[in-house]
Each structure stands twice: as C-alpha cells, then as structure tokens.
C-alpha cells in the first residue's frame, strides 16, 4: 500500500477530488490541513525541492493576499516568498501530494497517479 501525504484544503474541490483519487487507489493518506496548521519554512523548502519549483510556482498568484503583499515584485527573494507562504498559507497552491519520495500538485487530480 502506498503511503501519501496531502496538503489539503477541504473547501477546495480539486483538493477533495485528489484525496478521493488517492483513497480509490488504496493509498494510506496522511492529511495535512495546512490552513489550520501552517507549514514551517523548512517544510515549504522541502516541498519546493521535491516539486523542483521556484517559490512563485507553488503560490496562488491570483489571491488578494498575493497582490496586497506585492509578491509579484521581482526584487522579492526566494526567502521573502517562502516567508509569505509561512505567514499566509492561503498563498500555497493546493493540493500538494507527497508519495514515494516525490511530490506533485493535484491540478488536475490525475497528476497524483504519476507518483503513487
């Protein structure tokens, strides 16, 4: 049985669909409700490494908070962007799934099939 971790927002339809797909494929799923318990800076850096993403690639750039914090500013460092995700976890793209030492964003949910 594959063990998977999902950074999950139960109010998000894609997140719910991704969780259902993991369960349909008999994965043992650990659910991290990242809006309730924000990931640490080191957690976010690990996710970025596994996704092979720059910080902005893991951010919801259309959120009001992204604009309000002026995060599109090219002078913002990777550390600035990681700190913004720690302070405002709503900025983190969802859902993120970890399995078998790999990570994907479940948009579309079928992306998870590549790592389980």
Q: Are residues 83 and 51 in the same domain?
A: yes
Structure tokens at 101: 């030492």
φ and ψ at residue 3, rounded to 5 degrees: -95, 135
Q: Are residues 79 and 110 in the same domain?
A: no
Q: Are residues 86 and 110 in the same domain?
A: no
Q: Are residues 81 and 44 in the same domain?
A: yes
Q: Are residues 50 and 84 in the same domain?
A: yes
CA dihedral 35→37→41→45, nearest 10 degrees, is: -70
Q: Which of 2, 5, 12, 83 is catalytic?
A: 12
pLDDT at 98: 98
CA 38 to chain centre: 11
Number of folded domains that form the chain: 2
pLDDT at 86: 98
User: For helices 41-51 and 78-87, what crossing angle results, to 10°?
Assistant: 120
Looking at residue 109, which CATH number applies to its domain? 3.40.30.10
Q: Are residues 46 and 86 in the same domain?
A: yes
27 flagged as catalytic: no
pTM of this structure: 0.95
- pLDDT by residue for the chain (116 residues), tens only, comes to 899 999 999 999 999 999 999 999 999 999 999 999 999 999 999 999 999 999 999 999 999 999 999 999 999 999 999 999 999 999 999 999 999 999 999 999 999 999 99
- Domain span at residue 113? 1-34+94-116
**Count of Cβ atoms closer than 10 Å to residue 89 Cβ:** 20
Q: Are residues 86 and 62 in the same domain?
A: yes
């Amino acid at each position: 049985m594959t063990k998977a971790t999902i950074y999950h927002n139960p109010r998000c339809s894609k997140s719910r669909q991704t969780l259902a797909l993991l369960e349909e494929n008999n994965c043992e799923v650990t659910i991290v409700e990242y809006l309730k318990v924000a990931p640490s800076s080191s957690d976010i850096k690990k996710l970025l490494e596994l996704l092979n993403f720059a910080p902005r690639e893991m951010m919801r750039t259309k959120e009001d908070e992204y604009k309000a914090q002026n995060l599109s500013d090219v002078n913002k460092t990777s550390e600035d962007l990681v700190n913004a995700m720690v302070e405002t976890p709503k900025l983190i793209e969802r859902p993120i799934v970890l399995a078998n030492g790999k990570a994907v964003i479940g948009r579309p949910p079928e992306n998870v099939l590549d790592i389980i």
